[in-house]
Amino acid sequence: ILNVEQSPQSLHVQEGDSTNFTCSFPSSNFYALHWYRWETAKSPEALFVMTLNGDEKKKGRISATLNTKEGYSYLYIKGSQPEDSATYLCAPRGLSNTGKLIFGQGTTLQVKP
């Protein structure tokens, strides 16, 4: 899998705003899609692993959807809080058995109190 694109590259919102990001990837050779949150000075933290077309996952105020046929995933944050400030990375996995992840460049979210 090549050409993983995330948009926007960065985002500044006010506390309480809802926001969403996009991850686009080639739909061929798809196996799974991972979303990670990476806060400054911490480890990237897994949010979701999604595999099936139409999958929708939720963790608290964060949810994600997956469309494998057209090659995109959306991440939504409802009622953003300052602690949501981080870089959000998506990483599709191809059909190889290695578990290797190909990351997009990330969307950096800054939530202002």
Partner 1 sequence: DTGVSQDPRHKITKRGQNVTFRCDPISEHNRLYWYRQTLGQGPEFLTYFQNEAQLEKSRLLSDRFSAERPKGSFSTLEIQRTEQGDSAMYLCASSSQGLVDTEAFFGQGTRLTVV
Under the rule (CB under 8 A), what is the footprint of partner 1? Answer: 4, 6, 31-32, 34, 36, 41-46, 49, 51, 89, 91, 98-106
Burial-class residue 103 by CB neighbours within 10 Å (0-12, 13-18, 19+).
middle
Closer residue to partner 1 in complex, CB, 51/53: 51
Give the tokens for residue 44.
Answer: 């990237």
Question: Min. distance of Cβ 63 from partner 1 in angstroms?
Answer: 17
Question: Min. distance of Cβ 8 from partner 1 in angstroms?
Answer: 13
Closer residue to partner 1 in complex, CB, 31/76: 31
Question: Rounded to an integer, what distance in angstroms lies between the CA atom of residue 68 and that of residue 38?
Answer: 24
Question: Min. distance of Cβ 57 from partner 1 in angstroms?
Answer: 10
> How far is CA 90 from each of CA 16, 84, 113, rounded to the nearest angstrom?
24, 16, 26
